[in-house]
Structure 1
Amino acid sequence: MNTTSAQTSRAASEKSALQFLLHGGSDNEFPALSSTISEINKIVASESESTSRLTKTILQDVALTNRLLKLVNTVSYGQFGGKINTISKAVVILGFETVRNVAMTLILLEFLQNKSQAASLKDEVIASFFAGLVASKLSAGRNVRDSEEAMICAMFQNLGKLLATFYFYEECQEIAQLVSQDLNENKAAHQVLGISFNDLGQEIAKSWNFPDRLLVGMQSLANERIKKPYSELDSLNVTSNLANELCKIAATSSTTDKDKALKQLITRYSTAVAIDEKQLSKALNEGLEEISVRAGILNLPTAHSPLLKTISQWNGHVEDAAPSTKDDGMLGITPLDTAVEAASDTESARMDPEAILSAGIQDVTNTLVVEFNLNDILQMVLETMYRGMRFNRVLIFVRDGKTNTMRARFGFGAEIDRLLPKLQFPISFEPDVFHVSMEKGVDIVIEDVAADNITSKIPAWYRGAVPAQCFLLLPVMINGKAIGLFYADMEAANSLQVSQRQLSLLRTLRNQAVLAIKQKQ
């Protein structure tokens, strides 16, 4: 066992598992995980928060951003139509809650995979995710409003056990020993950890600001016969539990006992849900197919998963024929196109700036031809600039007729929430670069704010608020009048490297903003 596991196991004996985790565990990663998930849930729960706030939180993690965009463009989300290239559009099209659910799944999986060295621990992660996929399949056509919610509830039902496995490995071995002696797993966990796996997961989820719906949906049902659900929320909880129990049966019972095990499961849930063996088997097969689609995006090591192999064989799932190992002269040699494709997948976080800019332009174009919210368009434009050019921060100034000022409206990047309230200036002309850009309708790049020929043209309000040493300005002109101003910066002087092609794409994005504003006037 590694040093971290030993430290956490000793810590668990000194105070309860729950308190240990609520106080940050033994590393810096768990508090960061907790903070991110908690912040996302707060934003979604608030009626006053905007698309911008949720987008900002997700964009802080480049890997999360890229994986989320990949995932929402799989066939699973095909019902929403069209390709989604920005987080801003994902929030608009899919909705706050769906994006929240996808993001939380990705964040937890990434965290748990980083924690799991042993193959058995990796299978615990795969088991939870697979149960979630099966729940989403079982929810189809039933009284469950959102299949993505069913997936989250089924997956996070195992949260307590997963966290205990990774932080209290020795104690979990002791719990497993007690379970092998026919002690109920939750009772065994309470005996060893001072809290059941179910309660541990619930309390951590509460600290992460999970909404009540998800907390109820992920509750374990302990009754011998499951009661009839009297609400949609009850149905969500039943679906979550049914999926987990089905997956556990498929993973632990023999193929010879399959019919008996399924009949027992159907009998247990007969009052709550009308389902037969064929439908259960179909949900498992569809889950196996779905996890193979998502595995590459999520970096899940499913190819050699003992768990998935067992479930596949148990359910009679037909797998693709294994590649031949016959030496045809290419054994051990990787074709160039295969190597290039693999490299492309692993380096998705470093996508070509022009590809990101072009994809964002397509997102805006597709949104402009339907009914749209102007703020959503402006956020898509800003996000595309930010991700594509890897600016330190981007924002847009908007003309405020009441105060006769240009005010920073919203943006993305470093310290943006702190800076936005500070960034405003009078519209009346001053001989500085901001007014020159607006007065003449000219795009401006300042490579070094401290350069002798520039320093006098940098206004005091800017120097006092922003530490960036270089920036660019793209005015938004309507009928010869500046009604907005896009701003993007980098921390170090002379670090804004913008090619002619990239500048052309940035101008296209600005022009799309102009078109959106004109359409709304």
Structure 2
Amino acid sequence: MKPNNNTNKGVEYWTNRISDLEMPALCSTVQALEKLAKDDVSSLSLLGRSVMHDNALTSRILRVANSAIYHKGTSQISTVSRAAIVLGFDAVRNICITAQLLSSLLESKNLAPSVYERLIRLMAKGFQAAMLARMMLSQYDEEVQEEAFIASLLYRIGESAFWSIGGEFTETLDELLKECKNPTEERSMIRENLGASFPQLTQSIARHWNLGELLIQAVNHPDDQRPEIRSIFLADKLCDLLSQKVIDKDELEKRLTQAAHFTGLDVDEFTLRMQRCAQATHKLADAYGAKVLLDYLPDPRRINQITEEALVVEPPLYIPNLNIQLAKLRELTAFVINKTEFNRIMQIVLEGILEGVGVDRCGVLLLSPSRKQLQPRIMLGRDADEMKHGFIIDLSDKKGLFRLAMEHKESLWIDNPNALKWREQCQELPAQHLAKLGFLVAPLLVDGKVIGFYYADRGPSQRVFMEEDFQAFNHFVQLANVCFTVSLK
């Protein structure tokens, strides 16, 4: 359903849907915590009782409360109410909210891979920004730090909650946003389709869930110079910059200078503290059981990389390695037994093909929602970034290579794309990326249905494939298809 383009109705529609249908557990947890009086001793036991019915949530809260980030004592904290006594009500309240937020979003079911990645990247940025905002307020009271932490974490809750809904509507908007050339176009596209902006949705959720005045003020008045709001704004900007594939050096220098001035540090010292903060964020994400965020957390080490002269390094030439093949196949076999998330499976199978089979580049291409195109989801190896943006396959030609492979659900070894038997089918492939000495293709199957393809070639090094290479490639994709089927059930 597409909501009415009237802004108020659009905001109301999405707020109600998220609160009542998509994330009711988080909504009720936040509202229950808000009702507890911070200065009332009885609130400590009430806090424990409010989450004790959820064993997974309680376990996650206690694991975080006992982590080095929060607990400096020697004795273990064994109850939520005890955690509130040792750490303070505000800290435990925020741990509860963070744990429930991560649980609600990370367990979003049946998201398209592209939408899921967008959600994970957004969550990772928010998590790192929350830690950074708290670090920037280290000279202030703990209450101020905790308030800024949770407001920064929830700074984009409207956007995160929307993507977690999944379904055709989110997939369509995701595809539309990929076509936008700049942030202004993206914002216009979002308003046109949602009937509201993501910040407006965040404000509405914040009011509906009683998430606190600081979050509302931070979204409404990002240029406010109050320390809490200033830290939230700068943390969000820095993490957004560090998450970009290509960093705007001038913009980064500007935000670093502003943040260093805010904290009273020079830029080098602030950068060092950012890097330490990033290490702490990795540990905290692990304590929350959110390991999926680790590969997507903004990396402050990139600041050093863009301020130093980059060394020209020849990319590695991967040759077939049976030991790596065996190790990666074992990992995939474990995924069949222990259900694993989609993106992790993709990463392991492609690493096995790249480093084990010994190719120059490989990737997974997924069908678009309309099933009229194949678009790169992950590409590894040489020219991976160029391939990810340019290796888009049009499936309109019924005689095309991928249409035939989709119909017959079989792996193909195209030994010479210019040979007579392949030339016509290969016309759909982008000429600039066509490996002249051949490539390998296999369908990505879930419950027997083709949802995409695996691709591998040795184009840059101009090496040919042998029969054993094709068999090893097939071994990986067949096992990965079993893993995907298990993971999506």
Deviation (angstroms), 1:264 = 1.6
Q: Which residue pairs with 1:203 in the alignment?
A: 204
* Deviation of the 1:220 alpha carbon: 5.6
Which SS does the other structure have where 1:293 is aligned? helix
Q: Does residue 63 of structure 2 align to residue 73 of structure 1?
A: no
C-alpha distance after superposition, 1:184-235 (max 9, x if no partner):
765654444232222211210111122324443x426555xxx6x3xxxx21
Whether 2:249 is the aligned partner of 1:248: answer no
Residue 126 of structure 2 is aligned with which of 125, 128, 138? 128
Shift of 1:148: 2.6
2:297 counterpart letter in structure 1: L
Match of 2:282 in 1: 292
Whether contact under 8 Å (1:157, 1:201) holds in the other structure is yes
Q: Which residue of 2 aligns with 1:180?
A: 181
TM-score with structure 2 setting the length: 0.54
Structure 1 residues 29 and 166, CA gap change in structure 2 (3 angstroms): closer
Query: CA 1:130–1:327 in 2, change beyond 3 Å: closer, same or farther?
Result: same
**Structure 2 CA distance, aligned partners of 1:34 and 1:161?**
16
| 2:66 aligned counterpart, secondary structure | coil
Alignment-mate amino acid for residue 124 of structure 2: I
User: What secondary structure does 2:272 align onto?
Assistant: helix
Distance across 1 between alignment mates of 2:9 and 2:17: 13
> Does residue 97 of the first structure (1) align with residue 97 of the second (2)?
no
- In structure 1, what is the Cα distance between the partners aligned to 2:294 and 2:257? 33
Note closer, same or farther for the CA distance 1:326–1:272 as it changes in structure 2 (3 Å cut): same
Match of 2:50 among 52, 57, 65: 57
Alpha-carbon deviation of 1:90? 0.8
Post-superposition offset of 1:241: 1.0
Q: By how many angstroms is 1:42 displaced?
A: 1.6
Measured against aligned partners, the alpha-carbon deviations of 1:272-323 in whole angstroms (never above 9, x if no partner) come to 5544422442343123212321233323234772x33765445559xxxxxx
Q: 1:329, 1:197 → 2: CA distance?
A: 44
Gap change, CA 1:201 and 1:49, over 3 Å in 2:
farther
- Cα deviation for residue 83 of structure 1 reads 2.3
Contact 1:134 1:286 in 2 (8 A): no
What is the CA distance between 1:143 and its match in structure 2? 7.2
Specify the alignment match of 2:106 in structure 1: 113
Q: Distance in 2 between matches of 1:39 and 1:11?
A: 30
Contact 2:15–2:201 under 8 Å retained in 1:
no
Structure 2 Cα separation of the partners of residues 101 and 95 of structure 1: 10
Q: Is the 8 A contact 2:159 2:198 kept in 1?
A: yes
Find the aligned partners of 1:174 and 1:12 in 2 and give their Cα distance.
21
Q: In the alignment, which residue of structure 2 is the partner of 1:41?
A: 34
Among all aligned residue pairs of Structure 1 and Structure 2, give the percentage whose two residues are the same amino acid.
Answer: 23
TM-aligned CA distance change 1:161 to 1:315, over 3 Å: farther
**1:175, CA displacement in angstroms?**
7.1
- 8 A contact 2:64–2:284 mirrored in 1: yes
Deviations 1:90-121 (A, max 9, x none): 11122222111110011011101112643332
Q: 8 Å contact 1:33–1:107 — kept in the other structure?
A: yes
Mapped pair 1:301 → 2:294: no
Tell me the SS of whatever aligns to 1:50.
helix
CA contact (8 A) 1:98 1:148 kept: yes
Whole-angstrom CA distance in 1 between matches of 2:140 and 2:322: 48
Asked whether 1:141 is paired with 2:143, we answer no
CA contact (8 A) 2:242 2:302 kept: no
Q: Structure 1: how far apart are the matches of 2:329 and 2:261?
A: 57
**Could you list the per-position Cα deviations for residues 131-167 of structure 1 after superposition, in whole angstroms to 9, with x for gaps in the alignment?**
1122222222257744332221111111111122233
Equivalent residue, structure 2, for 1:237: 229
1:201 alignment partner AA: T
Q: Could you tell me how far 1:21 is from its partner in structure 2?
A: 3.5
CA contact (8 A) 2:61 2:288 kept: no
Confirm or deny: 8 A CA contact 1:205 1:215 kept in the other structure.
Answer: yes
Distance 1:184 1:93, change over 3 A: farther
Q: Is the contact made by 2:120 and 2:293 (CA closer than 8 Å) also made in structure 1?
A: no
Alignment of 1:299-448 (within 5 A): 299-302=289-292, 305=295, 307-308=296-297, 312-315=301-304, 327=323, 331=327
Secondary structure of the structure 1 residue equivalent to 2:78: coil
- Is the contact between residue 163 and residue 170 of structure 2 (CA under 8 Å) also seen in structure 1? yes
**Would you say the 8 A contact 1:44–1:54 is kept in 2?**
no
Contact 2:285/2:291 (CA < 8 Å) preserved in 1? yes
- Cα distance change, pair 271–37 in 1 and its aligned pair in 2 (3 A): same
Equivalent position SS for 1:85: coil
Deviation at 1:39, TM superposition (A): 1.1
Contact 1:16-1:193 within 8 A present in 2 as well = no
> Any conservation in 1 of the 2:260–2:270 contact (CA below 8 Å)?
no
Q: Distance in 1 between matches of 2:270 and 2:67?
A: 24
Pick one of 155, 158, 170 that aligns with 1:157: 155
Match of 1:86 among 71, 79, 94: 79
Give me the CA root mean square deviation. 3.9
26-35 or 146-155, larger mean C-alpha shift:
26-35
Q: Distance in 2 between matches of 1:48 and 1:309?
A: 39
Q: Any idea what the Cα deviations from partners look like across 1:330-363, whole Å, max 9, x if unmatched? A: 946989xxx9xxx9xxxxxxxxxxxxxxxxxxxx
Deviation at 1:11, TM superposition (A): 5.2
| Residue type at the aligned position of 2:30 | I
One-letter amino acid of the structure 2 residue matched with residue 111 of structure 1: S
Structure 2: segments with no counterpart, 5+ residues: 307-320, 339-489
What is the deviation of 1:29?
Answer: 4.4
Name 2:425's counterpart in structure 1.
none
Query: Structure 1 residues 282, 187: closer, same or farther in 2, change over 3 A?
Result: farther
> 2 CA distance for matches of 1:71 and 1:18?
34
Q: Conserved in 2, the CA contact under 8 Å of 1:51 and 1:88?
A: yes
Shift in Å at residue 268 of structure 1? 5.4
Contact 2:5 2:192 in 1 (8 A): no
8 Å Cα contact 2:133/2:232 also seen in 1? yes
User: How has the CA–CA distance of structure 1 residues 178 and 189 changed in structure 2, closer, same or farther, with 3 Å as cutoff?
Assistant: farther
Q: Which residue of 1 aligns with 2:402?
A: none
C-alpha distance in 2 between matches for 1:271 and 1:296: 31
Which amino acid is the alignment partner of residue 308 of structure 1? L
Distance 1:68 1:243 in 2: 25
The TM-score with structure 1 as length reference comes to: 0.51
Tell me if structure 1 keeps the 8 A contact 2:126–2:152: yes
Question: CA 1:46–1:176 in 2, change beyond 3 Å: closer, same or farther?
Answer: farther
Name the CA distance, whole Å, in 1 between partners of 2:101 and 2:33.
13
